[in-house]
Amino acid sequence: MQPDASPTSRALRCLDVLQDHPGITADRLGDELGVSSRAARRYVALLREAGIPVESERGPYGGYRVGRGLRLPPLRFSSAQALGLVMAVLDGHHQASDPDDLVGSALGTIIRSLPAAVAAQAEAVRRTAAAAPDRGAARPDPETVTVLVQACADRRQVCIGYRSEAGAAWEATVDPWAVVVRHGRWYLLCHNHRAKALRAYRVDRVGSVTTLEKGFTPPDDLDPVGLLEEHLSAGWEYDVEVVIDAPVGSFWFPRALGHLEAVDDASTRLTGTTSNPWMYAESLATLPVPYRIVRCDEVRAAAREIAERMLAATGS
């Protein structure tokens, strides 16, 4: 049995099951919800208290069904609202209480479609819950995201206008392989035709995008997330090499650190680059297996200082 994470959410799930399976028994309803039949009856009672007409019939062919009196208004989202909700789920949107925000207005549409008692609880949470915004997040223009995602799906080249972090502006024709969200930032993983190489561009820095007629074929073994992580770990100021005392594939590691390759049956070599030795050393410290930093004095010095601080914190 699953614990009751939220009576309201479980009751709404109960309503969905009742609508999909008219005549469902309490035992089967409990199975669908992951709770006991007694708990299922309690959620039916909550729905009735909220004004939803749930009927029940006794006997071997009896069960629960939603009565004819239930008339939920249709949900009507604009395309911008729908995309805003998807983007909110992906990057942790924190403007849910703002009615002028895409996500805030879309949530308002959902809440207005709920029964009054349920809507009151949902609205209270929306208005009073305090979120901790991600200060590093950079949300792109929804229309830009729409065009890029569609081009990825249709496998058609695009011409993008881009402005780098340093302020340089240029245009490029690319094959858009995938749009990837990483730590609150949106990236376009693509093949740049002029550079003839893989590139990852911040979508929030894409000023214009035009879909072209020419198509493309992405790599057969494309792993967008893994490829982005490896790409973001390359080309920085400090070259790093680490030997890990464990077989490759036997442990978890942050893929942004670099590339793993087997040295032998008992050890693995990690190679990568970084512009921040301290942050790299902190990430290495999360490895669950022994390792040695064999190249990069800066990362080695940072690791030593981190270790001394941790040792001092123990009172030794």
- Of the pLDDT bands very low, low, confident and very high (cuts 50, 70, 90), residue 75 is low
Q: Delimit the domains of the chain by residue range.
A: 7-66, 79-128, 142-221, 233-313
36 vs 42: CA distance, rounded Å: 10
Whether residue 103 is predicted with pLDDT greater than 50 in this model: the reply is yes
Distances (CA, A) of 118 to 11, 19, 32, 313: 9, 17, 21, 49
Of 83-87, 129-133, 141-145, 253-257, the one with minimum mean pLDDT is 129-133
- Of the pLDDT bands very low, low, confident and very high (cuts 50, 70, 90), residue 1 is very low
Higher pLDDT, residue 10 or 284: 284
67 vs 271: CA distance, rounded Å: 64
227 vs 269: CA distance, rounded Å: 18
Higher pLDDT, residue 182 or 71: 182
pLDDT of residue 215: 97
pLDDT tens readout for residues 36-58: 999 999 989 888 887 788 888 87
- Over residues 118-125, mean pLDDT: 72
Question: Across the chain, what does the average pLDDT equal?
Answer: 84
| 206-215: strand order across its sheet | 197-202, 185-192, 169-182, 156-163, 206-215
Higher pLDDT, residue 153 or 85: 153
Whether residue 205 is predicted with pLDDT greater than 80 in this model: the reply is yes
Whether residue 3 is predicted with pLDDT greater than 50 in this model: the reply is no
- The CATH class, in words, for 142-221 is mainly beta
Its pTM surpasses 0.75? no
pLDDT tens readout for residues 155-179: 999 999 999 877 889 999 999 999 9
7-66 and 142-221: identical CATH topology: no
Query: What fold is seen in the domain 7-66?
Result: Arc Repressor Mutant, subunit A (1.10.10)
Of 112-121, 151-160, 259-268, the one with minimum mean pLDDT is 112-121
Higher pLDDT, residue 109 or 39: 39
Percent of the chain with pLDDT over 90: 43
Whether residue 4 is predicted with pLDDT greater than 60 in this model: the reply is no
152 vs 179: CA distance, rounded Å: 8
> Please, what sign has the CA dihedral across residues 34, 124, 72, 80?
negative
